[in-house]
Structure 1
Amino acid sequence: MSSPTVGVLALQGDTREHLAALREAGADAITVRRPAELAAVDGLVIPGGESTTMSHLLREFDLLEPLRARLADGMPAYGSCAGMILLATEIADAGVPGRAALPLHGIDMTVRRNAFGRQVDSFEEDIEFTGLDGPVHAVFIRAPWVERVGPDVEVLARAAGHPVAVRQGRMLATAFHPEVTGDRRVHKLFVNSLA
């Protein structure tokens, strides 16, 4: 059986780190910047970065509607930090009108941007993560949290009482950055869902 091809949205953010993590987790990982590249992948990682900038670039690269369509058709996706924000159906405090973060409607949830505070409030913490053996060392950088989940969304981890990892079907999202820690269990969880 061949390895799944997983794209990493390569417009802005932790592209290189996710590519390495996905390869270590057993996937063929490629960058995605064009609709044709998006059409060729079995699943997609939307990395951390800046959600309003990523939304702007999705429009500029003519990827916004093709990405929404692939997600609506059931393409598996994993979003970390800004990726979690974009996978939401609703973004609380989405930003300045005209330059706001745009929801992709992948996971039935409301996400609040920068919920834990500014860059100076970034932190690391070991958290329990449902389905993984032992805690995950989570790195939160200007991180969001989930304020509402729909009935089909499973909360996998919490920090400060708020959901910070969720799954709906074959869509996964974390408020933290597992790609920077060397722990590949979250990426393996996603890659295994593509089988």
Structure 2
Amino acid sequence: MAHAQVSNNVTIGILALQGAFAEHQVALQKLSCQKKIAVILVRTAGDLSACDALIIPGGESTTIALLAKLAGLLEPLRAFLQNKPVWGTCAGAILLAQAVENTKKGGQELLGGISVTVARNGWGSQIESFEAPLSIDGLRDPTTPFMGVFIRAPVVLALHPSTENPPIEIIARLPLNVVPNAQKLMVHDEGDSDPRNSQSIVALRQGRHMLTTFHPELTKDNRFHEYFVRICVLPTLL
């Protein structure tokens, strides 16, 4: 009787319609983990069907959503989210949100998947971009801060936990001493009296999905990519 073989490979797709998809590809290809990682640049539903997990890169969220719609990818992406891990960075984080504020006129399509509300360009315009060291226990070598690159970054306005969805795990917060426009922070967290709390969140995970409001792919530090593979992707293949 033949026994099924367990694959030693994991295929991670990167939505490659617009934005920093090439940088994610480089970071993934440098990883060393227990399974060999194959990378696919996803532009069609057929590309997506070959993936075990997906990264939605930073870029311009409205443009990515429009191009995905024109490519017939919106519904396949929503279906993919129901069963497989997805990580959104910056614009990708917006697309994974349950709701978004500060959209362009006419709004935009969202994929959903993570129970949060975010605001586009929450810290301001391109000239108000910044970098900040982030202390994160779950990363490899946690005593070394991860440098977050924030470019027209979205802000998490509210968390929407429920018994119907996996719990929301906060991975990283922006240190309050480097929060831009801190005086503008408002209370959004449901049941939370600290007005800085939700807006300081810059990385979180809900079940198999993850979002980061910054750009890990724009650094030479691939520990967030390793974290996504180790914590979100590999457990789904067991």
For Structure 1 versus Structure 2, the TM-score category normalised by the shorter chain is: over 0.9
Question: Is 2:50 the counterpart of 1:40?
Answer: yes
Residue number among 97, 104, 112 corresponding to 1:95 in the alignment:
104
Partner of 1:154: 169
- Code of the residue aligned with 1:83 in structure 2: it is G
Partner of 1:3: 9
Question: Cα RMSD between the aligned structures?
Answer: 1.2
Bigger strand share: 1
Which 4+ stretches in 1 moved above 3 angstroms? none
State how far apart, in whole Å, the 2-side matches of 1:102 and 1:94 are: 10
Question: Is 2:20 the counterpart of 1:17?
Answer: no
Contact residue 7 and residue 43 of structure 1 kept, 8 A: yes
State how far apart, in whole Å, the 2-side matches of 1:29 and 1:106 are: 22
Partner of 1:62: 72
- Code of the residue aligned with 2:157 in structure 1: it is E
Gaps of 5+ in 2: 1-6, 162-166, 180-195
Instruction: State the shift of 1:127 in Å.
Output: 1.3
Partner of 1:165: 203
Contact residue 25 and residue 191 of structure 1 kept, 8 A: no
Partner of 1:144: 154
Partner of 2:229: 191
Instruction: State the shift of 1:78 in Å.
Output: 0.6
Bigger Cα Rg: 2
Percentage identity across paired residues of the two chains: 45
Question: Is 2:97 the counterpart of 1:85?
Answer: no
Instruction: State the shift of 1:123 in Å.
Output: 0.4
SS of the aligned residue for 1:124 comes to strand
What per-residue deviation string (whole Å, max 9, x for no partner) do you get for residues 38-63 of structure 1? 11100000000000001100100000
SS of the aligned residue for 1:25 comes to coil
What per-residue deviation string (whole Å, max 9, x for no partner) do you get for residues 71-105 of structure 1? 02x210111100000011111122211xx332211
Paired residues, number: 192
Partner of 2:187: none
With normalisation by structure 2, the TM-score equals 0.78
Task: Indicate the larger mover: 147-156 or 40-49.
Answer: 147-156
Contact residue 147 and residue 163 of structure 1 kept, 8 A: no
SS of the aligned residue for 2:17 comes to coil
